[in-house]
Structure 1
Amino acid sequence: MSPLVTVVVVNWNGLSLLRRCLPAVLVQRGVPYEVIVVDNGSHDGSPEWLQRLSATLAASPRAPSLRILAGKQNVGFAAGNNLAIREAEAPFVATLNNDAMPEPGWLAALVAAAESDPGVGSCASQMVFASSPDVVNSAGIAIDRAGIAWDREVGSVRHRPDPPTEVFGASAGAALYRRAMLEDVGLFAESFFMYLEDVDLAWRARLRHWKCTYAPAAVVRHLHSASAQEGSRFKLWHLGRNKLTVIARCLPGPQLLRYGGAIIGYDLAATLLALTARHDSSGLRGRWAALRRWRELAIERRHIQSRRTAAWDDVSAWIEPVPTPAMVWRRFRHLREVLAGV
């Protein structure tokens, strides 16, 4: 039977993570699927372990197939996923972090949510903290008119397996994408390398009238920032660069002018906070790297905006208002408290 879903896992020196992730993937039931692991030039024994696992699965007629795409260098999360998506032929593609362990029924719940409406281009999982599985890590992507994106419902009590609800976008750490949507709006932007590539894709999908639903029955346990440590300079640099890149590429012109003051104000505040409180210029340097690409960004923006079919009212229904400074501070403090407690 041809696979309905291709599950993609991108790995770089994550053997200890793969040993937990893949066994949880390979016991999924209810839908025919295959697994593609993209190894980004690991040197920790991951390629050898994957080859042995693939041979074991090939000897079992009931096991899903495991394909390995082995690269010589780390091309990043975005490009790694794209390699597998281009290789796959299934109608749906599920992306999964190597530090995430799906619970039984995860894949079937995502597919059921997607098949309920042909206009659904992506589905978000309920990601819970592996160390505190009763606490939500992400219930999809939320975004406001100041250009700030965050994980919905982070820190809340684990949700019941209620029917799916519509949200702005899906976290690519555990998401399902309809191939027709990816063919329409394009794959992950490889220039992002990693971080916020899913926000960029969610924006492009919304601009083309594709919906995203959140399936609380599709649960994944996530080792938060296990692949790239929380607060690392690497992560802060990419977040700084990619945040400006998303805004420059995706926010329509009238809204960019209308909310530009709030976007600049909050971004300056975040940069100054990092410089003064953390004595870290990584985010500033990342933003400067984005600004230096203004010519390329202008070309990318023209292409994305020229293909927009959705009215702003349809898109804005899923975008939060410009927050007050107190709201942003409470959100930031809440996140720190949640991460400190898991």
Structure 2
Amino acid sequence: MSQLDSPRVILIIVNWNGRAYLEPCLSAVFRQDFQDFAVIVVDNGSTDGSCEFIRVTFPQVRLIENHENLGFAAANNQAIQASQSALIATLNTDTVVAPGWLGALVQAMERDPRVGMCASKMLLASATGTIDAAGIAVDRAGIASNVRHGEPDSPEANVPSAVFGACAGAALYRRAMLDEIGLFDPDFFMYMEDVDLAWRAQWADWRAVYVPEAVVVHVHSGTAVEGSPLKNRLLGRNREWVLLKNYPFPPVIWYAPVILLYDLMAVGYAMLAKRQLASLHGRLQAIGQLRKMLVRRSQRVMRISWREMMRRLQPIEGPLAVARRYRRP
């Protein structure tokens, strides 16, 4: 397909044994008011009949079938590289988008050529009228969190705003930005690959905006087990990789005690409350890849100073306030 024949948006959905979510997800996608898009589903070796269901029920979907689970990051990269559209939407299987979702994201993206990421208003399926995410924020301890997580969907949440990045569970990216800063880091497998991408985009001085009209209902960990050892290991490992690749120098020297303190508290909580060592194992695994991540750090596109980057990070809050960011409504 030539670039002239390409739709304006390629919409990518990564699936791994998400058969139960595919019908509501894809049905909502094809009810969009904005129609200049095509859909690629990348299946990561599902064994639940997902691929056959897509072929029969949604033949208009382009299906890429992997023989094993390559992870969320690598699978999205596959579809990005297999397409040419100027705009790239990513969407989790455990979502249902409103009819105006994609059109709102495209309209926001096209208002400003320096906007490289658009974040949706993600609402929790398990708590009606409650926000799951309105973009990504990162504080000066390097802790990433979902903006407005757990807050009611109030009039204040209907105001567009600048954010640090977009949650890749329902986001729109500009291909020109990805061509410049690179795709999702496949080593992350899943979790926080969107945070790493947001850091790299910010270093290159791309903007991210929250689009409240782009509404999506999200099950949250619908195809992964919340609190599982695997998830906690990957979160622990990937957090350290994000910091190794992106945290500004020299401020990392000044903030290292605080960063270490919060890491120790996170590991301690996992060991005491969840009786898991997965969070610790993930951090130890991250150290084993120190050299590789520092090489990738040197490859960043940097258009802003470390002082400007620190201004884009949120102030550090106390442990109780940080814990509230992750509380399940």
TM-score by length of 2: 0.95
The answer to whether the 8 Å contact 1:8/1:95 transfers is yes
Q: Are 2:160 and 1:171 aligned?
A: no
Residue of structure 2 aligned with 1:90, choices 85, 103, 107: 85
**1:333 Cα deviation from its structure 2 partner:** 4.0
The answer to whether the 8 Å contact 2:248/2:310 transfers is no
Task: Give the alignment of 1:232-311 within 5 angstroms.
Answer: 232-304=228-300, 307-311=301-305
Q: Are 2:211 and 1:215 aligned?
A: yes
Q: Match of 1:158?
A: 153
Q: For the residues of structure 2 that align with 1:276 and 1:130, how far apart are their CA atoms?
A: 30
Tell me the SS of whatever aligns to 2:212: strand
Q: Letter of the aligned partner of 1:200 in structure 2?
A: D
Q: Match of 2:311?
A: 317
Tell me the SS of whatever aligns to 1:253: coil
Q: For the residues of structure 1 that align with 2:288 and 2:166, how far apart are their CA atoms?
A: 29
Q: Match of 1:137?
A: 132
RMSD of aligned alpha carbons: 1.4
Cα shift readout 1:213-242 (whole Å, capped 9, x = no counterpart)? 000110010001111111111100000000
Tell me the SS of whatever aligns to 1:286: helix
Q: Letter of the aligned partner of 2:222 in structure 1?
A: A
**Measured at CA, do residues 281 and 8 of structure 1 come closer, stay the same or move farther in structure 2, by a change above 3 Å?**
same
**Measured at CA, do residues 2 and 297 of structure 1 come closer, stay the same or move farther in structure 2, by a change above 3 Å?**
closer
Q: For the residues of structure 2 that align with 1:50 and 1:97, how far apart are their CA atoms?
A: 15
Q: Letter of the aligned partner of 1:268 in structure 2?
A: L
Q: Match of 2:14?
A: 10
Q: Letter of the aligned partner of 1:43 in structure 2?
A: T
**1:313 Cα deviation from its structure 2 partner:** 3.6
Q: Match of 1:62?
A: none
**1:162 Cα deviation from its structure 2 partner:** 4.0
The answer to whether the 8 Å contact 1:133/1:221 transfers is no
Amino-acid identity (%): 44
Q: For the residues of structure 1 that align with 2:310 and 2:131, how far apart are their CA atoms?
A: 25
Q: Letter of the aligned partner of 2:48 in structure 1?
A: D
The answer to whether the 8 Å contact 2:165/2:208 transfers is yes
Q: Match of 1:224?
A: 220
The answer to whether the 8 Å contact 2:9/2:86 transfers is yes
Q: Match of 1:329?
A: 320
**1:85 Cα deviation from its structure 2 partner:** 0.5
Unaligned runs of 5+ in 2: none
**1:67 Cα deviation from its structure 2 partner:** 0.6
TM-score by length of 1: 0.91
**1:258 Cα deviation from its structure 2 partner:** 1.9
Q: Match of 1:35?
A: 39
**1:309 Cα deviation from its structure 2 partner:** 1.2
Tell me the SS of whatever aligns to 1:300: helix
Unaligned runs of 5+ in 1: 58-65
Q: Letter of the aligned partner of 2:152 in structure 1?
A: V
Residue of structure 2 aligned with 1:118, choices 113, 116, 128: 113
Tell me the SS of whatever aligns to 2:28: helix
The answer to whether the 8 Å contact 1:133/1:158 transfers is no
Cα shift readout 1:300-325 (whole Å, capped 9, x = no counterpart)? 12222xx311123433333112223x
**1:334 Cα deviation from its structure 2 partner:** 5.7
Which range is displaced more, 236-245 or 124-133?
124-133
